[in-house]
Structure 1
Amino acid sequence: MERLQKIIAGAGITSRRKAEKLIEDGKVSVNGTIVKELGAKADVNSDEIVVDGMPLEKEEPVYYLLYKPSGVISSVKDEAGRKVVTDYLPTEKRIYPVGRLDFDTSGVLIMTNDGEFANMLMHPKYKVEKTYFAKVEGIPDKQKLQKLSRGIYLDGVKTAPAFVKLRKSENKKGTSIIELVIHEGRNRQVRRMLEEVGHPVLKLKRERYGILDLKGLNAGEYRELKPHEVKKLRELSVT
């Protein structure tokens, strides 16, 4: 027996927090009876669970690492008909990206149907580190790098401290490569941070997500996560 919100999140329908809201709103029933108590439990293998009018079907969880190419939407569909990340994975199971990478950003993207796992990874309180390499206009001085590392105000809220390092500078081209390690996931955060210090991003790539990197993959390729990788990511998400 497990809590209903955990079962719903584990089925990949939504996050646990949103599952709790569905329960409170009376949109979840077990064996024909509407349940509004967050502490209610059920057996996913024997009970009939209906969420917002749809029977819950237990799916085996799947976990993939995709090397997202630039020019691809981090979504399961796009009304404009543009290429989306699910186009790269040959599976009939309903999967979705953990968080998002901008249309013009490439790199590590985790794909899964495990809603609870995804929610844990994305929650800022767990501080799962993400490493980005940005090619930017100009060459930032020491003061600007320190400002980035201490935090930048975006929409009136300061970003958390970050690891920042100038990896390469090309004086003739007037560009440089900057490494940033952050654990937040605000909208277009890395691009906006660099714009705030006067160095717009020309190219951006996420090289690492927690313990995962792009080793052995080319843009558009994917691989299944190994059991020990999933376990380690879970551990990172609760420590």
Structure 2
Amino acid sequence: MRLNQFISSAGFCSRRQAERYITAKKVLVNGEIASPICFIEEGDHVEVDGHTIRHTAPDIYMILNKPSGITCTAAPTIAGNIIDFVSYPERLFPVGRLDKETEGLILLTNDGSIVNDLMKEENQQEKEYVVTVNKKITDTFIQDLSNGVDIYNPRTKSYTTTTPCSVTRLSDCTFRILLTQGLNRQIRRMCRRFQYTVTHLQRVRIKHIELGTLERGQWRYLTEEEIAKLKS
């Protein structure tokens, strides 16, 4: 197993962060600084920044129906963080994030090897949301959202055009949207561009994993079938 995968699959950090540790020469294999290309065999001793890496815990995959008010961070210093909310006995971290006000499906795991595949924009992993806005939806609004929206990025002081996407009206003030991007507060910013305000936002699907009837604030383990598709 490649060194970065070994570190991430132990739940210590993501594969990308593991690569940063390796590049910074903070990883030792059998007492020696690891090379950028290194494979781990059974019995090898691995340390990252002074921490011994052990594969003692089984891989854990769960989804949470996150309520509004919970922050998607593993940082214990942040009040209302998602790890304290779930209060699981093993070390976990959220895959990606939902805004504090946004509800719905978020994946938690101790397997860092799946993070890049799910989060890289070029992998085009579909995420589905149900959105309620503050006034009646028009055909023009649905079409404009579908075609892509110029949204302002205050950090770069420039506009980004969102990728065309599927948008379906569900009722006078509610629609369904399928995204493959993950821009910060993307749906809220897209709606604001056309003078609509999001009053409720819920993610109901990531890739093949559906929220279904899972109640707000509750979590469940992924099924074996869901896990297999997640890794395929």
User: TM (normalized to structure 1)?
Assistant: 0.88
Deviation of 1:144 after TM superposition, in Å, equals 2.2
Selected match of 2:168 from 162, 165, 168: 165
For residues 153-197 of structure 1, what are the alpha-carbon distances to aligned partners after superposition, in whole Å with 9 as ceiling and x for unaligned? 23222111111112101xxxxxx0011110111111111111112
Task: Name which of structure 1's ranges 205-214 and 22-31 shifts more when overlaid on structure 2.
Answer: 205-214
Q: What is the percentage of aligned positions where both structures have the same residue?
A: 33
Q: Runs of 5+ in structure 2 lacking a partner?
A: 154-158
The match for 2:209 is: 212
The match for 1:29 is: 28
For residues 195-225 of structure 1, what are the alpha-carbon distances to aligned partners after superposition, in whole Å with 9 as ceiling and x for unaligned? 1121110111111111222223111111100
- Distance in 1, matches of 2:75 and 2:31, equals 33
Relative distance call for 1:80 and 1:38 in structure 2 (3 A) is closer
Q: Runs of 5+ in structure 1 lacking a partner?
A: 170-175
Q: Report matched runs for 1:1-239 at 5 Å.
A: 2-35=1-34, 37-43=35-41, 45-58=42-55, 59-77=57-75, 79=77, 81=79, 83-154=80-151, 155=153, 156-169=159-172, 176-235=173-232
Deviation of 1:90 after TM superposition, in Å, equals 4.5
Deviation of 1:234 after TM superposition, in Å, equals 2.2
Q: Is the 8 A contact 2:204 2:212 kept in 1?
A: no
Task: Name which of structure 1's ranges 225-234 and 25-34 shifts more when overlaid on structure 2.
Answer: 225-234
**Root-mean-square deviation (CA), in Å?**
1.6
- Distance in 2, matches of 1:25 and 1:207, equals 39
The match for 1:172 is: none
1:42 maps to amino acid: I
The match for 2:156 is: none
Deviation of 1:91 after TM superposition, in Å, equals 2.6
SS in 1 for 2:143: helix
